[in-house]
Structure 1
Amino acid sequence: MSNAVANGLAGAGGGMIAQTLTYPLQTVNTRQQTERRAKKDLANSSRPAASSATFLQILQVIRTEGWGGLYSGLKPSLLGTAASQGIYYYFYQVFKNKAEAIAAARREKGRGDGSVGMFSWLVVAAIAGSLNVLLTNPIWVLVTRMQTHTQVERKIMEERKKDLLREASEIRLTDSTLQDKLAELDSLKPRPYGTMHAAREVYAEAGITGFWKGIIPTLIMVCNPSIQFMIYESSLKHLRAKRAANKQGLKNITALEVFLLGALAKLGATVSTYPLLVVKSRLQAKQEIGGNVSLRYSGTFDAIIKMIRYEGLPGFYMGMNTKIVQSVFAASVLFVVKEELVKAYMLLEYKCQKFMLNLWK
């Protein structure tokens, strides 16, 4: 098995573990990103601090939807994570090997010291990320729909209540009739919403192209893992060089150091690209919420213009604190698990080779 395949499988395994551990935060964060709030509401709101707001929202989901509400869409998400991480790490390792081979060839010709520069790391990560996005975007459209389904149903119910109150004022319904109809609406529960239901809904709305909604901001967001891996690889290279130079120190990098480097890398990447993530989530969530045109986006440019017009710049940073906690923790876990799995594979391969050599003697 090549090191590219080993890294792909290790990345998939690490990604699934990290995704499962942090999925409740991801669900809440997606709902925060897709929550539309007008400028005046943002200015006049006296909401609690972001950390407490996230905690309260988690409790609210548990109270109204049960624990299953926090894990809505987990199955396709795990599939998407396995596919994304496997594809990404496989192609990342393939192009990383090529970049290192090119750098070694340049050194033999007397150009450079044989190390891969930051720009090369960016290009490697960008190519791997682009291939990953194009192949896995349909899965993430379904995951976003499933994570925000209850929120959308609640919005639709609010619109129905407004219509009912408007109708009552126009045709003068009796208080008892109005209360009965409102009670009937309150008794309705969100419809069951599985993966196939989400897929049929996406196809009915926009056809096959609907599965690639948000592809433009997602492709632009390829710079997120590019920035992440540039910081991670550069920091790891610097730490290894420093450790190797110190004859009294250990050359091996510990799991804690990998965890901290992964956290630092993901933090820098998340803060710089978060607005694009919000736009992507808005495009992938269900658009038909009531009759308000400000809540519907026909494309990336339309979403950006309407968000600036109706919500202002704060709209692009909805739920960022939650995302930072979730993504930094997930990335740190992923890097640690991936590195340990690769080490285990290398050790297993070494023992197998040693066993085969002894067998031939």
Structure 2
Amino acid sequence: MSKPTQLTPFGYALAGALGGCFSNALVYPLDIVKTRIQAATAESGASDEEKLSILGVLERILREEGFMGYYKGFMATMLNTFSMQYAYFFFYSFVRSSYIKRLAAKRPAGSAAPPLSTAAELLLGAAAGAMAQIFTIPVAVIATRQQIGRSLDGPKKPKSKGKGKAAEGDVESNGSISDGEEDEYDDSFLGVAREIIAEEGVSGLWLGLKPGLVLTVNPAITYGMYERVKSVMLIAKGETNANAKLSPWMAFTVGALSKALATVVTYPYIMAKVRIQARSADAEDAEEEHLSLPKHNKPHHKSGHHHVGALTVLARVWRRNGFLGWYQGMSAQLIKAVVTQAFLFMSKDQFEHWALAIMVLFYRLRSAKP
């Protein structure tokens, strides 16, 4: 085993995962806010714009859940961030380096491979994102449920209560169940996982996979745009060295702009995915059926087996709220996503140095063994 002098795909994956956890931890309360706003539906009594504002949700969480409410599901989200970032960076580095090697093999010996086109960057990023999504989405589903609170359709939720006092506090703007219904609810990572499996079966851990696969274009757009703008700026500065780096603040700015563009383009599907994973879309669908059908004709869906698709969610939102409804919670998502991604890009080089140091340390520990 030779001493590592540069990062392997595993090293880049580790650097990306550590940077992702760091940047997400910095803005985690915003993550809670954006998830609760996205999951809120008309049936939850959350149509009041003030209740769906960033400050409104922050104030509500502090009043009803205390300061620790801002960090609900923190460990699951960090695990999801680490696993997703690790998987994405690993697959992205792997497919990108493999593709570049294939291009280089077709060129004369000693000549450098041409820079990748934007289309190639996007396709490679999407492929990496799809592979990462399939492996990591169960943790994302659990993290979303923990952030929202008790499942909207869980077996412990009393079903005999009408639209009285209990129903009014049912999900409101943050998608969580009212205090009156919190009877020994286990909101730990394993507790939520058990609840999901009890409601849906094991396949419930992959809720939202289809929109998740569509959303693989998000990091693809982000990193494709980042690499393209980065190369243009370095060329403009006269730096043609392959190892040339942007300054931290320039990387921050380019990262923020790249993520903002990707978020605006894909946001409707982001919102639909959250509603599917939080089951607020299913609860809304069941409520519509309850109100529209005569009592003797109402379908009896077994909990967890009747799921609404992303296109159905978007069509319903369009009918009720128009185009702007597709961007409910957009400001919170945009602020969180842009700041997180910008910090990630700004700290990327530093975390790559740390990842290399960890690899060197691992090498020395292995070499010291008799």
TM-score tier (shorter) = 0.7 to 0.9
1:258 maps to 2:287: no
Distance 2:143 2:357 in 1: 36
Aligned match of 2:141: 141
Gaps of 5+ in 1: 167-184, 354-361
Deviation at 1:242, TM superposition (A): 1.9
Contact 2:39 2:271 in 1 (8 A): yes
Paired residue secondary structure (1:162)? coil
1:333 maps to 2:343: yes
Task: Give the 3 Å change call, closer, same or farther, for CA 350–210 of structure 1 in structure 2.
Answer: closer
1:292 maps to 2:287: yes
**Amino-acid identity (%):** 26
Equivalent position to 1:21, from 26, 48, 66: 26
Residue-by-residue CA offset, 1:129-159 (whole Å, 9 max, x unaligned) = 0011000011111111111116959xx7899
Gaps of 5+ in 2: 168-177, 291-305, 364-370
Distance 2:141 2:358 in 1: 38
Deviation at 1:300, TM superposition (A): 2.8
Distance 2:179 2:210 in 1: 39
Residue-by-residue CA offset, 1:15-58 (whole Å, 9 max, x unaligned) = 111111111101110110011138xx96xx6x3598xx202321
Aligned match of 1:319: 329
Contact 2:35 2:147 in 1 (8 A): yes
Deviation at 1:117, TM superposition (A): 1.1
Task: Give the 3 Å change call, closer, same or farther, for CA 241–101 of structure 1 in structure 2.
Answer: farther
Distance 2:221 2:13 in 1: 20
Aligned match of 2:90: 90
Aligned match of 1:122: 122
Task: Give the 3 Å change call, closer, same or farther, for CA 111–309 of structure 1 in structure 2.
Answer: farther
Deviation at 1:349, TM superposition (A): 7.9
Aligned match of 1:278: 271
1:158-237 alignment, distance < 5 Å: 160=161, 162-163=163-164, 189=182, 191-237=185-231
Contact 1:15 1:82 in 2 (8 A): yes
Paired residue secondary structure (1:108)? coil
Distance 1:158 1:318 in 2: 28
Aligned match of 2:35: 30
TM-score (norm 2): 0.77
Aligned match of 1:174: none
TM-score (norm 1): 0.78
Deviation at 1:5, TM superposition (A): 1.4
Paired residue secondary structure (2:42)? coil
Equivalent position to 2:236, from 226, 242, 250: 242
Aligned length: 325
Task: Give the 3 Å change call, closer, same or farther, for CA 348–23 of structure 1 in structure 2.
Answer: closer
Task: Give the 3 Å change call, closer, same or farther, for CA 350–243 of structure 1 in structure 2.
Answer: farther
Q: Which has the higher helix share?
A: 1
Distance 1:218 1:230 in 2: 19
Larger radius of gyration: 1
Distance 1:219 1:160 in 2: 38
